[in-house]
Amino acid sequence: MAQTTTLSPQEWKELAERIGILGVMMQKILAAQNNDGMGAQDAEDCAADIICAMAAINYVALNAADKCIFVGV
């Protein structure tokens, strides 16, 4: 069973920042691998997904930290 944890607004913000860092690394990997000739597109798609995730997490940090939980998988 997954463990759940509540996070403070600052911890949610930190999580968004870390996901942003991970996203930059993933973009570089996808662009470099270019296994199917679509590396640039894959990197761009990854960036869009990461930006959406960061926006959602920052929203939670600002407006709903007390109503959301983090579920570890």
> What is the mean predicted confidence (pLDDT) over 17-32?
94
What is the rounded distance in angstroms from the CA atom of residue 47 to the CA atom of residue 45?
A: 5
Average pLDDT over residues 44-51: 95
For residue 2, name the pLDDT band (cuts at 50, 70, 90): confident
pTM: 0.81
CA nearest neighbour of 19 among 31, 7, 8, 27: 27
